[in-house]
Amino acid sequence: MYTSKDPLHGKTLQTIVEQLQAHYGWQGLNDRISIRCFGVDPSVKSSLKFLRKTPWAREKVEALYIKSLKIKSFSRDAE
């Protein structure tokens, strides 16, 4: 059976945002990636809308998710 080595394989943007928000909270996300959708009236819906239209911001969120997977407690939460 083939297993992808890509940590984003099979993960939706919504899942990534929800897991990051659960782990860091909105303030923690805004501290790490200073974008308005995390700092001003944040929600998953508004974040997804912005991230889908803004490739550079989505790349930063995906990079934070990959970095966070290396933290054991986050990895257990993600499974």
Q: How confident is the model at residue 70 (pLDDT cuts 50, 70, 90)?
A: confident
Tokens of 41: 């009236």
At 16-53, the pLDDT tens digits run 999 999 999 999 999 999 999 999 999 999 999 999 99
Structural fold of domain 13-78: 1.10.720
- 50, 53, 79 from 46: Cα distances, Å: 6, 11, 25
Domain boundaries, the chain: 13-78
Residue 7's pLDDT is 84
Residue 1's pLDDT is 61
Long-range contacts of 33-41 (CB under 8 A, 24+ apart): 33/57, 33/60, 33/61, 33/64, 35/60
CB under 8 Å to 24, separation ≥6 — which residues? 31, 32
Global confidence as pTM: 0.83
